[in-house]
Structure 1
Amino acid sequence: MIRLSKLADYAVVLVSHMASDPGLRHSAADLAKLTHIPLPTVSKILGALARGGLLQSHRGLNGGFSLARAPQDVSVADVVNAVEGPIAVTHCLDHGQGDGACEILATCRMAGYWQRINTAIDGALKGITFAEVSTPLPAELTVPLTATPSAAAAGACHDGFGA
């Protein structure tokens, strides 16, 4: 199964909330309360996004985090890359882990195809910006998600927008 990590998923949710009001400075505590993501996790993600150049950190009384670029200039791929590193659907494409070498590369018939698949997934994520994501889709365009038991108890669904 190809799946983003929970941190990458949460990072996309956090940036989507920030992109809905890009001029506002957001505190980690406010974002945690708004999204029902635990505060330590929000803090960890905001730090990674700031190190990745997607957020600016502001100190002081009116401090917090703000988007470093306009929402239309930040893609879902940018956020995933900042939190997880480059998108790689297989180990042989993961150039961030070790040397990226694969012990079966010489006999693998999928080698070129994995790169095509990886490029397609990366392109799809690059094609969605937070100018789009910051506004929830109309109900007729969405696929219902089921809430986890803890999220249902908190009154939030998977995406943090609420039930």
Structure 2
Amino acid sequence: MRLSNMADYAVLTMSAAARHCGGARVAAAQLAEETGLPVPTVQKLVSRLTAAGLLRSSRGVGGGLKLARPAAAITLADIVEAVDGPIALAPCSDEAHDCRHEESCSVKPYWADASLALRGALSAVPLTRLAETAR
């Protein structure tokens, strides 16, 4: 299993933003420079991360980006889900998924448990740890 490139880039972007959490706002272009990501990619990620409530954006003089809540309250799971959606190892982990093999499938009950375990592991990694590791 692999994260999407965008989820990976979102983790890099949020880690860089967390290193500026002393109250100062940071521009998307500065985050792009610090992470080595293209500015358009960071701008796209900022839009998704803002919509998910992980970043706060303000325009104008003194504007920029800031974490929407303390770095310790943001997890790796939050960041991945902001970009890739709910963490599910198999499509049938989602209750809304319609599968023609559902009645005869002996594996489906275990996918939900595995997905929850993965989400739990990702939830145990706070952004503060990611920001420190990246230094």
Shared topology, TM-score over 0.5?
Answer: yes
Residue 103 (1) aligns with residue 100 (2): yes
For 1:103, the aligned partner's letter is R
Aligned to 1:130: 127
Cα deviation, residue 112, structure 1? 1.0
Mapped partners of 1:12, 1:102: distance in 2: 32
**After superposition, what is the alpha-carbon deviation per residue over 1:12-43, rounded to whole angstroms, capped at 9, x for unaligned?**
11111111221221111111111111111100
Mapped partners of 1:94, 1:116: distance in 2: 12
Residue correspondence of structure 1 range 61-76 to structure 2 within 5 A: 61-76=61-76
For 1:134, the aligned partner's letter is A
Q: Percent identity, aligned pairs only? A: 40
5+ residue gaps, structure 2:
none
Mapped partners of 2:2, 2:117: distance in 1: 15
For 2:127, the aligned partner's letter is F
* Higher RCO, Cα 8 Å, sep 6+: 2
Residue 34 (1) aligns with residue 34 (2): yes
When you count helix as a share of all residues, which structure comes out higher? 2
Residue correspondence of structure 1 range 1-163 to structure 2 within 5 A: 2-22=1-21, 23-94=23-94, 99-136=96-133
Mapped partners of 2:110, 2:24: distance in 1: 43
Mapped partners of 1:15, 1:54: distance in 2: 9
Could you tell me whether the CA contact under 8 Å between 2:20 and 2:26 is conserved in 1?
Answer: no
For 2:82, the aligned partner's letter is A
SS, match of residue 65 in structure 1 = strand
5+ residue gaps, structure 1:
137-160
Mapped partners of 1:133, 1:25: distance in 2: 19
Cα deviation, residue 60, structure 1? 0.6
Cα deviation, residue 94, structure 1? 3.7
Give me the TM-score of the superposition, normalised by structure 2.
0.93
**Number of equivalences:** 134
